[in-house]
Structure 1
Amino acid sequence: MDKYVNILKLSVGTENTDDLALWQKTKRAQAADGLPRHVTRMWPKREAELTNGGSVFWVIKGVIQCRQKIIRLDEHIGQDGIRRCAIVMDPTLIRVQSSVKRPFQGWRYLSPDDAPADLPKNREEEEPLPTDLNRALAEIGVL
């Protein structure tokens, strides 16, 4: 398999995966082609590995809950004239097995070996658990 790496990112202000999906449908959260993006101050040094099959794994309320495939990195110049990186993603949110993650700033690289597995196909359409229950189960390793 080709070498790739993922990014781990906090989804600040969202309560669940549905909130994240709604936010990403706003114009502010989209690239010019309508794909969801996340703008970050730092440009990843491992760009080639990220765009070679990597995903953004989203931490929501202290739990890794879903991921999105990274399509590309775009340059984004803010109103302040500062160059930033827009991580452009596939709009599909892929739910993963819940895993507790402590708060951190910015983003972190996440190796494929350390990334939570996708939910099995027969569980993808299940209604997500309430946030507190999801976190409690992840903390004891049930999910």
Structure 2
Amino acid sequence: MSAQKAPTLHMIKLIVGCTSPEMLRDWVAVERHRGTAYVRTRTMPKRAEDIVQGGGSIYRVINGLIMCRQPIIGFDSYTRDDGHPGTLILVSDEVIPTQPRPMRPFQGWRYFKPEDAPPDLGKGAADLPDDGISSLPASLRNQLSELGLL
């Protein structure tokens, strides 16, 4: 009997203080835990193993729009500044732009089903041609999305 791959499950989380995927790329280069980029959160996902085994990503909401994703490579525990336990979502350095999609604010993170995730933009997207959208500045992509043109 062959082992069956877990279904892909993603996460989604807002970024506070970041204005573009380009800025996130800069943050990823600086914010490191044992040499790996990470995202801080309070609670360990109960389905962490499903996310990692299924090749899940964390989709990032910037200024009210899902703008990009980062593949998740693992999870680790840490102690927050207030002494309480926390979780680090270990992510790839790769910040992959996605088709912008509006998203209302929410606290913390949420599980995100593959069918709800926006497609990747630009080169490397398996099912989309390189339409030049990914080369537009993030602010212009935001405006186009808000107008319903993307």
Instruction: Please tell me the TM-score bracket, short chain as reference.
Output: 0.7 to 0.9
Instruction: Using structure 2 for the length normalisation, give the TM-score.
Output: 0.83
Deviation at 1:137, TM superposition (A): 2.1
Which amino acid in 2 is paired with 1:9? K
TM superposition outliers: structure 1 runs of 4+ over 6 Å: none
- Counterpart of 2:135 in structure 1 is 127
The unaligned stretches of length 5 or more in structure 1 are none
RMSD: 1.9
C-alpha distance in 2 between matches for 1:38 and 1:22: 14
- Counterpart of 2:87 in structure 1 is 85
C-alpha distance in 2 between matches for 1:50 and 1:15: 26
Identity between Structure 1 and Structure 2 (%): 36
Query: Aligned pair count?
Result: 139
Which amino acid in 2 is paired with 1:99? R
Counterpart selection for 1:17 from 21, 24, 29: 21
Deviation at 1:18, TM superposition (A): 1.1
TM alignment of 1:98-137, pairs within 5 A: 98-121=100-123, 122-123=130-131, 126-131=134-139, 133-137=140-144
- Counterpart of 1:36 in structure 2 is 37
The unaligned stretches of length 5 or more in structure 2 are 124-129
Q: Secondary structure at the match of 1:87?
A: strand
CA contact (8 A) 1:8 1:58 kept: yes
Instruction: Using structure 1 for the length normalisation, give the TM-score.
Output: 0.87
C-alpha distance in 2 between matches for 1:85 and 1:135: 30
Deviation at 1:135, TM superposition (A): 2.8
